[in-house]
Structure 1
Amino acid sequence: MTRLDRTSFPTLAPRADLVLPAHLPEQGASSGIVHLGIGAFHRAHQAVITQRAIEATGDDSWWITGVTQRSASVRDQLAPQDGLYTVLEKSPEGSRAHVIGTVREVLFPAEQQERLDALLADPALRIVTLTVTEKGYRRRGDGRLDLEDPLVAADIAGGSGAAPVSAVGRLARGMQGRIRAGGAPLTVVCCDNLTANGEVLSRLVRDFAAALPAAEAEELTAYLDAHVRFPSTMVDRIVPATTEADRAEGRGILGLEDAGLVVAEPFLQWVIEGDFATDRPAWEQGGAQITQDVAPFELMKLRTLNGAHSTLAYLGALRGHETISAAVGDPQVLQAARDLIAEDVIPTLTAPDGTDLVAYGETVLERFANPALAHRTVQIAMDGSQKLPLRLLGTLRDRRAGGAEPRAAAVGVAAWMAYIASDLPLDDPMATRLADLARGRTDPRVIVENLLGVQEIFGEDLPEDTWLRSTLRDEVARLRAR
């Protein structure tokens, strides 16, 4: 079958189940945005909103150059397609294909570092966005940059002419190249699920700068102070892994082969702090919300949506459910998620302007119930050591500080522990250590004591909470008995 690209694109015509971009980047057009970590989420989220903004305003200076971090796979998917790909939007009512033309090119730095260096130094570039996952920032337990991480250490030691490999290293070294080219201002927009993600990333880049030789450190820090902004954001869209069945459905709609197709739900949200060093796309005309305070939106999403998502994933996987929608269809699992939101999450939140927290929680569960999204429980269960502190432990701590006994939040934590002890797939930066502590063990007391002792996850306070320890033992025993 003919492949989607600039040559085949004119053969397409819009219809009810096919939405096409109004125009594509000119050959040789400059990129206003470089995106680090061009996986499925970025292609189904920020790239979509950017396309809508370009089409609403006619300002076509905001094309995206994507950077694939770990392998050349996304570049190899999209380069033969001239950056074109499809977002297959799936709902219970049916599917709709949206062809996205915002991505001008995709780079794999291991083979194209010089091209990336040139782009990061180019004044036409005004924004760098990132989706590299929580673990991609290589933080220590206290939230600072892990200077002993092999990739970070290599980026610091390599000198300004060496090719960096970590996300923070690429960003910091790119800024040094930008300084040498004249020091044009830059806005860096983190789009990962980190609390106060802009502040987090700013601190990590400054940690990197501080570890450099004195003259370099002073120069980079001065540039950061004077010319760089790190607005915080909240992003939300369910983007499950693409299956062969999804690709076949896309072929049926397009009549073309699309190796870069991604799948998403209809819902889409992006809240951005209005703090930019230069001009920006009119993202609000593409569906984003610009605000002066992202924190209430961010906490609402992290604790309600992400907390419930992880709880559903662990409980669902333990009960044999392959997908999140199947887990929501299990009355006991659904009730656990409802209890988490109503009893423990909402009491810790301040509602953002115009938001009904109860209605938001119900909307979240309705989205999870979408059977058209084959969002696998074991996929959501990945990287739990990074996700748990953000998604569940903050809620638990706040409730305990208020004198409550947050059993619903504890159930989610216990489900993670039981998952670690099970023979289900364990994909986590700390997988070896966690497996040594709990995998294959049967005594709930041992499982809980061993895992609570992981200070990078639970800190020093939670292991001292006798109510929590007792509750976790009871819940792990109950889950394992089932």
Structure 2
Amino acid sequence: MPRLSLAEIQSDAVHRDGVSVMEYDRSGVTPGIVHLGIGAFHRAHMAVYVDSLLKDAPDWGIIGASLRRPDTRDALAPQDFLYTVAIRDAEGTRCRIIGSVLDVLDASSDRSELIETMADPKIRIVSLTVTEKGYCHDPATGELDEDHPDIVHDLAHPDDPISAPGIILAALARRQAAELVPFTVMSCDNLPANGETARRIVRRLAELRGDTKLTKYVHSVSFPSTMIDRIVPATTDEDRALVTEQTGLDDAWPIMTEPFTQWVIEDDFPAGRPPFETVGAQLVDDVEPFELMKLRMLNGSHSTMAYVGYLSGYQYVSEAISDAAIHRLIRNLMTEEAMPTLPMGADVLAPYRDELLARFANPALQHRTWQIAMDGSQKLPQRLLGTARARLEKDQSIERLALGVAAWMRYVTGRDEKGEAIDVKDPMASRLREIADAAGGDPERLATGLMALPEIFGADLPENPAFTGPVILALKSLYATGASVTATAVG
């Protein structure tokens, strides 16, 4: 079977039913964006939007950068950085070949080239999806973690940085020295006020450098916030085989996703931007209402479903949401606890809730609960604890939110209800395991130990009985009766 490539596309090899190919001349596309963290989500979301506009705006191609591993570059380079997005639902699979990514640099080996590329005046936007942990910040406060090993390294070696903030600052320093206008920094990560977070982190890092001219320059940089939404499961060998069968071409790393996609962007791009609004993105003055809606309804329920579902024995989200008790729990979590904290009315929120439940039930995606459960220590503050704080401020109950937190606590012990090992992927995994081992299976000791982590729970929640009480009660129930019975009782 031939490998996906420009030559194969130009030879009409993929002109098949259910397969769409870019409608522009790839040779005429030039880069205008550098994207840090070119993982599956970026390739299913932003890169697809950009691909849709290149026919009319060919100067906005993307140079991607992998910050830790060369996997994406190694997979895509032999196929001219083309890849397939497979959109799946109960009706079938539709494949689209994407050409908006022109090159991928590996920051571990191509760091100088990456920074030089970002400093090129043709680059007007630097976007990023580096996950919560990539910001080297304290998730509970949103401030730069000045003791983070990567930040310590970058301050000692400013011209050879390894963190995303450090790489951005190094490129801005080059542009400032060359008297060029700064690029816009656009975060596409699932963080509250992601643009504000990126601004705060990069500005603080510049201040720590002690260069007043650079600090002033960084203060002129625009950091628009965005809200992004599309479910993107990890790609499996079965997925690759399906794409090969449908396209007739081997693709080393296709992307599987759902039909739904959403992108809300604050319109603040002094250096210029592509016409995102012409391809379905929504340009707004303030993204916060949309962001809160997604974080508290989609992300919060997703995480709760991942932990409760995994502990209940479900491998996939669609399986978990088909369980009547979990479905009721998630629906009520959104309706009774998340929706009242949001500024929109029920006329907006209720249809959004119903759409989310339908998306979760999509059997074609096979989105693993284990995948969603990753990096919970970084996700919890934004996805569940912010909603809990909003409700506690008004003396409102948090029973379902507390179950989501308690299920995370049970999950990070590293043992499921049958005593089988859980592969906990989290930057704090070893520390979490130490606390779990010290608790010795006592749920109250476990909850108290984990809630003592200020990076996750801050200083307020561990001192608030209205928070600690429901969490401990839910965790005790998880240990005594299991996730399925507890979900039924709480839902």
**TM interval, short-chain normalised:** over 0.9
Do the aligned residues in 1 keep the contact of 2:233 with 2:368 (CA within 8 Å)? yes
1:454 maps to 453
Deviations along 1:150-173, whole A, 9 cap, x unmatched? 1111111113xx321100000000
> For 1:148-227, what aligned pairs fall within 5 Å after superposition?
148-159=147-158, 162-212=159-209, 214=210, 217-226=211-220
- Tell me, yes or no, if the aligned pair for 2:41 and 2:232 is still in contact at 8 Å: yes
Given the alignment of the two structures, is residue 443 of structure 1 paired with residue 442 of structure 2, yes or no?
Answer: yes
Query: Could you tell me how far apart the structure 2 residues matched to 1:114 and 1:397 are?
Result: 43
Residues 9-28 of structure 1: matches in 2 within 5 Å? 9-10=9-10, 11-26=12-27
Residue pairs, 1:56-135, within 5 angstroms: 58-135=56-133
Aligned residue among 395, 398, 404 for 2:396: 404
CA gap 1:231/1:370 in 2 versus in 1, 3 angstroms: same
* Residues 82 and 402 of structure 1, relative CA distance in 2, 3 Å threshold: same
1:374 paired residue among 363, 366, 371: 366
Aligned to 1:363: 355
> CA–CA distance in 1 between the matches of 2:78 and 2:222?
35
Deviation at 1:421, TM superposition (A): 2.7
- 1:267 aligned counterpart, secondary structure: coil
Segment drifting more, 177-186 vs 145-154: 177-186
Q: Is the 8 A contact 2:115 2:167 kept in 1?
A: no
Query: What is the distance in 2 between the residues matched to 1:209 and 1:137?
Result: 14
- What is the correspondence of 1:209-358 to structure 2 with a 5 Å cutoff? 209-212=206-209, 214=210, 217-226=211-220, 228-351=221-344, 356-358=348-350
Kindly state the Cα deviation for residue 121 of structure 1 after the two structures are TM-superposed: 1.4
Detail structure 1 runs of 4+ shifted over 3 Å in the superposition.
12-16
Partner in structure 2 of residue 467 of structure 1: 466
Q: Amino acid of the residue matched to residue 450 of structure 1? A: G
Indicate the SS of the match to 2:137: coil
Deviates more, 1:253-262 or 1:6-15: 6-15
Helix, strand or coil at the partner of 1:8: helix
Unaligned 5+ segments in structure 1 are none
- For residues 32-43 of structure 1, what are the structure 2 equivalents within 5 Å? 32-43=32-43
CA distance in 1, matches of 2:118, 2:388: 41
Deviates more, 1:36-45 or 1:334-343: 334-343
CA distance in 2, matches of 1:398, 1:109: 40
Measure the CA separation in 2 of the matches of 1:355 and 1:70.
Answer: 43
Q: After alignment, is 113-122 or 378-387 more displaced?
A: 113-122
Note if contact 2:187-2:195 (Cα within 8 Å) is conserved in structure 1.
yes
Instruction: Return the alpha-carbon distance in structure 1 between the equivalents of residues 440 and 276 of structure 2.
Output: 50
| 2:176–2:182 contact (8 Å) kept in structure 1 | no
Q: Which amino acid aligns with 1:477?
A: K
Once residues 112 and 458 of structure 1 are traced to their aligned partners in structure 2, the CA distance between those partners, rounded to angstroms, is 38
Distance 2:238 2:122 in 1: 40
1:88/1:95 contact within 8 Å kept = yes
The CA distance in 2 between the partners of 1:125 and 1:350, in whole Å, is 37
Q: Which residue of 1 aligns with 2:410?
A: 418
1:118-156 per-residue CA deviation (whole Å, 9 max, x = no partner) reads 211111110011000001101024221112111111111
Q: Deviations over 1:259-308 (max 9, x none)?
A: 12111111000000011112211111111100011000000000000000
Tell me how far apart the structure 2 counterparts of residues 26 and 421 of structure 1 sit (CA, whole Å).
52
- Contact 2:8 2:14 (C-alpha < 8 Å) held by counterparts: no
How far did residue 351 of structure 1 move? 1.5
2:63 maps to a residue whose letter is: T
Give me the whole-angstrom Cα distance separating, in 2, the residues matched to 1:365 and 1:109. Answer: 39
In structure 1, give the amino acid aligned to 2:212.
Answer: E
Please tell me whether the aligned partners of residues 86 and 261 of structure 1 are also in contact (alpha carbons under 8 angstroms). yes
1:14 to partner: Cα distance = 4.1
Superposed displacement of residue 378, structure 1: 0.9
The number of aligned residues is 472
Maintained 8 Å contact 1:25/1:63: no
Aligned sequence identity (%):
45
Q: Distance in 1 between matches of 2:116 and 2:468?
A: 53
Normalised to the residue count of structure 1, the TM-score between the two structures is: 0.95
Q: Quickly say closer, same or farther: Cα 1:441–1:339, change in 2 above 3 A.
A: farther
- C-alpha distance in 1, partners of 2:63/2:286? 28
Structure 2: unaligned runs, 5 residues or longer: 416-421, 483-491
Structure 2 CA distance for aligned equivalents of residues 285 and 12 of structure 1: 29
Return the letter of the residue paired with 1:311. T
In structure 1, the partner of 2:134 is 136
Calculate the TM-score normalised by the size of structure 2. 0.93
- Secondary structure of the residue that 1:240 maps to in structure 2? coil
In structure 2, relative to structure 1, the CA distance for the partners of 1:110 and 1:418 (3 Å cut) is closer
User: Whole-Å Cα distance in 2 between the matches of residues 185 and 372 of structure 1?
Assistant: 43
Identify which of 407, 427, 445 aligns with 2:425.
427
RMSD of aligned Cα (Å): 1.5
